[in-house]
Amino acid sequence: MPRVLRNTEHLRNNLNPGEDALMIKNWNSHFSDNIKAYGGYSIGKLFDLLKDPEIISLAGGLPSPDMFLDHEMRLVSERILKENLEKIMQYSAIGGEHTLLDAIIGFLKRDNIEVTRENIVVTSSGQHGLDLVGRLFLNPGDSVLLDRPTFAGAIVAFQMQRPIFSGADIQEDGSDVDGFRSTIDSLKKQGRKPKFIYVVPDFQNPSGITMSLEKRLALLELSRDYGIPLIEDSPYRDFRYYGETIPSLYSLDQQKGGGNVIGLYTFSKLFCPGLRVGFNIGPPEVIQKLTNIKEGNVLNTPRYNQDMCTAFLTEMGMEEHILKCRNYYREKLEVFLKTMDEYFPEEMGVTWTKPEGGLFLWVTVPEGIDTHELFYEAIKYKVAFVPGDVFFGENPKRNTMRINFSFASKQQLAEAVKRLSGCVRDQLSSPGK
């Protein structure tokens, strides 16, 4: 037998486990403490149940494909691939390409926010931006203040660091700032202090509620009184359909000297989610640390994706596109709210928010109904939503649900409300309800 074959056979024999070999039978014991009990993003798991094409989904936060800039994206893609193919196929700057950073600076000036390149780090989606914030600030057992309800993606991002969530029920005009203050004082007596306060001030996901100017100023005062950073998540800010735009927390903070607010942004809703590009803004020392963390996880955001977002901000008619989105989504919201009034009369005990913008509204059903159980009944009626319990950091309200109105057509929205009404009526008439 040739020598090489004998060596190969020897290696194969040594790979066969002997009596004393230790086989890993319990992988969970090898996982980090942060991940052992971590269940991931439960909303994503619900989508596996929605493959039936007859189901009208009001669940995901998907922008409508009707609003994608198909023609413009093809033209820009052809050009940048022709001009910059070698650069696009290489690694790119970790903090973000200067062309995109400069375009972001101009984009934020529209909102009276003044930043420089050192105030920005490009992220691979808004969710990535949340993950960076959680990794930067949180140790296991640290406290985080949240609205009740709040964005489930933020909860699941922060959960990887095993914090303790404390919340205050959101009010019609935004965060319960007095409730936050009371919680902070209570934690202070325990020798603890929240690492940050997380809010979505404009057309909040999931409730659709917008924080009033008075509440924003009060929240900034709270931040300054206790020295607690504010995390302002702004995915929907440009989607205002009614009323006047309210200054962002970041711009209001800058008027007072700045330094207390970190802003999170994404191009997923405004442009398209498939490119997975967003950005965080904040003080230079914060941005540098966020960039360091990015070096250790995704390293860099693809150059092609960044160049497409740069083109969106500078040459695809962004302002016209935003206006088109507002008109398009406003019509859908009006159809949805009109149909809700028709099919959910007051005696049913169902209430819902009436947002001035964004992509979501919040529905509350009578307390005898658990919407997590109702979800599976609704699937039988060929309609879907997201059960409300996933939007609470603690003590969830189980008779709530989030509704998305941006993806389905106007005809589908009206039909979905009819189906949902029938499902809820049947639950209310069930014994014990």
Q: Which tens digits make up the pLDDT trace of 392-410?
A: 999 999 999 999 999 999 9
Nearest to 112 by CA among 251, 290, 283, 254: 251
Give the position of tokens 């936060």. Answer: 61
Instruction: Identify the sign of the CA torsion 419, 421, 422, 427.
Output: positive
Task: Find all residues with CB under 8 Å of 177, minimum gap 6, and list them.
Answer: 215, 218, 219, 222
pLDDT at 18: 56
- pLDDT exceeding 90 applies to what percent of the chain? 86
Nearest to 277 by CA among 107, 87, 115, 391: 107
Cα separation of 89 and 26, whole Å?
Answer: 41
Q: Categorize the per-residue pLDDT at 382 as very low, low, confident or very high, splitting at 50, 70 and 90.
A: very high
Q: Determine contact, residues 349/369, Cβ cutoff 8 Å.
A: no
**For the chain, where do the domains classified as CATH 3.40.640.10 start and end?**
85-315
**For range 196-222, the mean pLDDT:** 98
Average pLDDT score, the chain: 93
pLDDT at 52: 87
pLDDT at 50: 80
**For range 359-377, the mean pLDDT:** 96
Q: Is the pLDDT of residue 13 over 90?
A: no
Query: Cα–Cα distances in Å, from 247 out to 49, 104, 113, 158?
Result: 40, 18, 10, 27
pLDDT at 136: 98
Q: Is the pLDDT of residue 1 over 50?
A: no
Q: Which of 25-39, 51-65, 284-298, 385-399 has the lowest average pLDDT?
A: 25-39
Query: How would you write the chain as a 3-class SS string?
Result: CCHHHHHHHHHHHHHCCCCCCCCCCCHHHHCCHHHHCCCCCHHHHHHHHCCCCCCEECCCCCCCHHHCCHHHHHHHHHHHHHHHHHHHCCCCCCCCCHHHHHHHHHHHHCCCCCCCHHHEEEECCHHHHHHHHHHHHCCCCCEEEEEECCCHHHHHHHHCCCCEEEEEECECCECCHHHHHHHHHHHHHCCCCCCEEEECCCCCCCCCCCCCHHHHHHHHHHHHHHCCCEEEECCCCCCECCCCCCCCHHHHHHHCCCCCEEEEEECCCCCCHHHCCEEEECCHHHHHHHHHHHHHCCCCCCHHHHHHHHHHHHHCCHHHHHHHHHHHHHHHHHHHHHHHHHHCCHHHCCEECCCCECCEEEEECCCCCCHHHHHHHHHHCCEECEEHHHHCCCCCCCCEEEEECCCCCHHHHHHHHHHHHHHHHHHHHCCCC
pLDDT at 42: 72
Please tell me the pTM assigned to this model. 0.93
Q: Determine contact, residues 364/209, Cβ cutoff 8 Å.
A: no
What CATH number does the domain located at 42-68+319-429 have?
Answer: 3.90.1150.10
Task: Find all residues with CB under 8 Å of 401, minimum gap 6, and list them.
Answer: 362, 363, 365, 371, 374, 375, 385, 386, 387, 388
More confident residue, 280 or 19: 280
Question: Can you read off the two tokens belonging to residue 400?
Answer: 């709530």
pLDDT at 48: 72
Q: Is the pLDDT of residue 17 over 70?
A: no
Tens digits of per-residue pLDDT, 302-319? 999 999 999 999 999 999
Phi, psi of 118 (to 5 degrees): -70, -5
Q: Categorize the per-residue pLDDT at 148 as very low, low, confident or very high, splitting at 50, 70 and 90.
A: very high
Q: Is the pLDDT of residue 226 over 80?
A: yes
**For range 32-50, the mean pLDDT:** 79
| Highest mean pLDDT pick, 5-9, 20-24, 213-217 | 213-217
pLDDT at 7: 59
Q: Categorize the per-residue pLDDT at 22 as very low, low, confident or very high, splitting at 50, 70 and 90.
A: confident
pLDDT at 172: 97
In terms of residues, how long is the chain? 433
> At the topology level of CATH, where does 85-315 sit?
Aspartate Aminotransferase; domain 2 (3.40.640)
CA-based angle 278:72:328, to the nearest 5? 75
Q: Is the pLDDT of residue 118 over 50?
A: yes
Tens digits of per-residue pLDDT, 241-296? 999 999 999 999 999 998 999 999 999 999 999 999 999 999 999 999 999 999 99
